[in-house]
């Protein structure tokens, strides 16, 4: 039996979330993004509110979700 795989088109917040949860549920996940940096509008949010984005990333790290995010690319 082969492993199930999905492709997520778009590396914005929705695409990244989809990729994370798909990998957590056992799918082999590939995320395609047209821009050189994933994140979509979150990049703009980071420039406006860097404190909250850093806190969000710390929460991801503490819950081991960042591993799923990195391994999806």
pLDDT of residue 38: 85
Buried b (16+ CB within 10 A) or exposed e, 14-50: ebbebbbebbeeebebebebeeeebbbebeeeeeeee
User: How much is the pLDDT for 68?
Assistant: 63
Low-confidence ranges of the chain (pLDDT < 70): 1-2, 64-73
Quickly tell me which residue has 């990333």 as its tokens.
57
Alpha carbon 59 to its chain centroid, in Å, reads: 14
Amino acid 61: pLDDT: 73
3-state class of 69 per DSSP?
helix
Q: According to the model, what pLDDT value does residue 28 have?
A: 92
CB atoms within 10 A of CB 60: 15
């Amino acid at each position: 039996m082969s492993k199930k795989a999905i492709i997520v088109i778009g590396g914005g917040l929705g695409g990244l979330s989809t990729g994370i949860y798909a990998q957590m549920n056992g799918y082999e996940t590939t995320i395609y993004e047209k821009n050189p940096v994933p994140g979509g509008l979150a990049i703009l949010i980071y420039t406006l509110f860097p404190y909250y984005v850093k806190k969000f990333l710390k929460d991801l790290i503490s819950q081991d979700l960042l591993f799923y995010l990195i391994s999806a690319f």
